[in-house]
Amino acid sequence: MEFLTGKHIPRRTFLRDASAMIGLPLLDAMLPPRLVARGWAARPPARLVCVEMVHGAAGSNELGASRGLWAPAAVGREFDLGPGSLKPLEPFREYLTIISNTDVRPAEAVTPQEIGGDHFRSSATFLTQAHPKQTEGSDVYVGTSLDQLYVQRFGQDTPIPSMQLCIENVDQAGGCAYGYACVYTDTISWASPTEPLPMIRDPRAAFEQLFGAGGTPAQRAARRRLDRSILDWFMDEVADLKRQVGPLDRQRLDQYLENIREVERRIQRIEAHNTSGEPRELPEAPAGVPDAFEEHVKLMFDLQHLAFLSDTTRVFSFKMGRDGSGRVYPESGINSAFHPASHHGGQEKRVLEFAKINEYHVSMLPYFLEKLKHTMEGDQNLLDKTLVIYGSPMGDSNLHNHKRCPLFLVGRANGQLKGGEHIKAPDGTAMANVMLSLLHKLGLNDVTGFGDSTGDFSFTA
């Protein structure tokens, strides 16, 4: 590491103007010599990403479980991902912790009036592990989500405590069906049992939240009308900063700013195409939303990566679908729409087709994991410092049950997870037990219960 003589740049250094603010990545010049002398033992809290892929998995029904279409047959460290939907995670095996055979009982119907409403309450249970109050009014009630408990403790010293992103439309209001308010299926993040947090679908809106803080919407809109990059407003500040740092820091800074510019260019190209008058596959979507699922997901992951690099926020929740979605994913090799494919009737051919859609969804994640693994921050990569939770509150989508729900973790969470393991929970284990233990691993050791948890979960295969 290299330092300027006798001084360092504060970690919370920003490029600012009247309508924008850009956080910076960790530079060598931001680390005081005394911290380096201690081996940089003082580390920021872990980054956290919670990904919900709705409506269960093919591997959660009896046939799928027997074929290893989600959880591998072998437990421990010698598991084989080959037969199942988790195959795309093989390159990240050493960071992967599969937890199988857990149930999400709070998503089940409790009263006769709730029967049939699984689609409209399930998402609200994923990160809360609590049962939603059945209401179509504003008196919603479920629980504080895992991500927001973490934010309350460890997210208050970043410019943005957390961000909530999604891929499908979540702009419905009022009641959806079976007596449930749409907000239960629209969001997975709850700041309190009565406070659902809105999710951002438009990459432009997410970009502006990350790099437009400090200005009004009118100021940001005026800047965009000038058809200039956000970085053009900071050329003098960047030049001044480069004079204060060494060659390696200048290289890191250039790469980071170029990454911002490339994301900005992609958003601009998408907006230009979607406002050109050409027919759209998603005519109801904002101009900044790509019609292609993969392009949309990757853009959202790029924004998360930039946010982690600059420590603008450490917490994301990411909702990648809606239970009742009729979207088709031709890149998966299956031309059936998502929701009809999920109701496979237990027929072998259709179960295998739904497994291919599950595999396609999982295949979106390595793009992000690769970026984290190859981004160094001090003496570790970002994947070592991150916990990614990926799962669903539904098990067998055909039956709408909530047993054997899909769940895996990626990343080492600042050394709290070993990775390279498949842990099969005893029958009847609540997913909430896993969530409770993850809260403890993330530093919330005083939390004694979460959702319908019955105790800690053993992370020993």
Tens-digit pLDDT string for the chain (461 aa): 333 444 578 888 888 876 678 999 988 888 766 554 444 445 679 999 999 999 999 999 999 999 999 999 999 999 999 989 999 999 999 999 999 999 999 999 999 999 999 999 999 999 999 999 999 999 999 999 999 999 999 999 999 999 999 999 876 656 688 999 999 999 999 999 999 999 999 999 999 999 875 566 676 666 666 667 889 888 889 999 999 999 999 999 999 999 999 999 999 999 999 999 999 999 999 999 999 999 999 999 999 999 999 999 999 999 999 888 999 999 999 999 999 999 999 999 999 999 999 999 999 999 999 999 999 988 899 999 999 999 999 999 999 999 999 999 999 999 999 999 999 999 999 999 999 999 999 999 999 999 999 999 999 86
CB atoms within 10 A of CB 315: 26
The angle at the Cα of 95, spanning 313 to 361, to the nearest 5 degrees, equals 75
Q: What is the pTM of this model?
A: 0.94
> For the chain, how long is the longest CA-to-CA vector?
72
CB atoms within 10 A of CB 262: 11
How much is the pLDDT for 14?
87
One DSSP character per residue, 118-129 reads HHHHHHHHHTT-
Which residues fall within 8 angstroms of residue 351, CB to CB, at 6 or more apart?
Answer: 58, 61, 63, 64, 69, 344
Decide: 289 and 322 in contact? Cβ < 8 Å: no
Query: What is the C-alpha to C-alpha distance for residues 192 and 39, in angstroms, rounded to an integer?
Result: 38
Q: CATH 3.40.720 residue ranges in the chain?
A: 52-201+294-303+314-441
How much is the pLDDT for 37?
46
Please report which residue ranges of 311-456 form alpha helices under DSSP H: 338-342, 348-362, 365-373, 431-441
Which SS3 state, helix, strand or coil, does residue 388 take?
A: strand
Torsion sign, CA atoms 134, 140, 141, 146: positive
Q: Options 2.160.20, 3.30.410, 3.40.720, 1.10.390; which CATH number does 52-201+294-303+314-441 get?
A: 3.40.720
Phi/psi at 318 (nearest 5 deg)?
-140, 110
Report CA Rg, the chain.
22
Torsion sign, CA atoms 75, 81, 82, 83: positive
Torsion sign, CA atoms 126, 382, 441, 85: positive
Decide: 140 and 202 in contact? Cβ < 8 Å: no
What is the identity of the amino acid at 41? A
Question: Per this entry, what is the length of the chain?
Answer: 461
How much is the pLDDT for 262?
97
Decide: 15 and 411 in contact? Cβ < 8 Å: no
